[in-house]
Amino acid sequence: AGRIPEDWQDKPSKLSHKDRHARWTLKFTKAKRQDDGTMPSSDLAIPFFGYKSHVSIDRKYRFIRKWKTTHAAASDGARLREGLLDKTNTASSVWADTAYRSKANEDFMEKQGFVSKVHRKKPHLKPMPRHIQKSNAGKSVIRSRVEHVFADQKSQTGLFVRTVGITRATMRIGLANIVYNMRRFLFLERLNASA
């Protein structure tokens, strides 16, 4: 991935159309119930090519505080240590899904003075213990707020990145994040004015 075909080396106009930063990955989703009421035996794996946005939001007001753009195949967990956490945030708790649970991330958060509220993973080939299930359910109430940001960007602004190169994708996603924050600010201002 990202290599230049030999016959394109001396053709810059062709080369400008090849995205050498984007990567392929699979997005997994639960299979939906069929028309006859039966459930398919396996879940769905949808191929996806491009980039993804990693964001850190304010828990109370849901503003995007920090963000990063990577290729689609980049691991979510490694991004936590690359500047997604905001030391100026007054809250020290970090709420995240299981993709962010690792020994390296837990050590990093502890050294930086953050309190980990990251979901626990299900033990391999064993059912999830009831107390962990309850704990994760409680954390999901807070953690799901970041999903609202992505849903808003997709539905309200129609965020769909169709650019060549990570620089342009970063600009597109960054502008979408600024627009989201402005819309969120106006919403909170109107809410405050009516109260």
pLDDT attached to residue 190: 94
The segments of the chain whose pLDDT lies below 50 read none
Q: What is the mean pLDDT of the chain?
A: 86
Q: What is the CATH number of the domain that holds 69?
A: 3.30.420
Pairing verdict, β 93-96 and 64-71? unpaired
pLDDT attached to residue 174: 92
Distance CA(187)–CA(193), nearest Å, equals 10
Find the domain containing 64 and state its range: 6-32+43-194
User: How many domains, the chain?
Assistant: 1
The DSSP 8-state label assigned to residue 164 in this structure reads S
Answer yes or no: is 1 within a domain: no
Answer yes or no: is 65 within a domain: yes
pLDDT attached to residue 69: 92
pLDDT attached to residue 184: 94
pLDDT attached to residue 2: 64
Contact 33, 51 (CB under 8 A): no
pTM of the model: 0.79
Distance CA(26)–CA(49), nearest Å, equals 9
pLDDT attached to residue 17: 78
Answer yes or no: is 37 within a domain: no
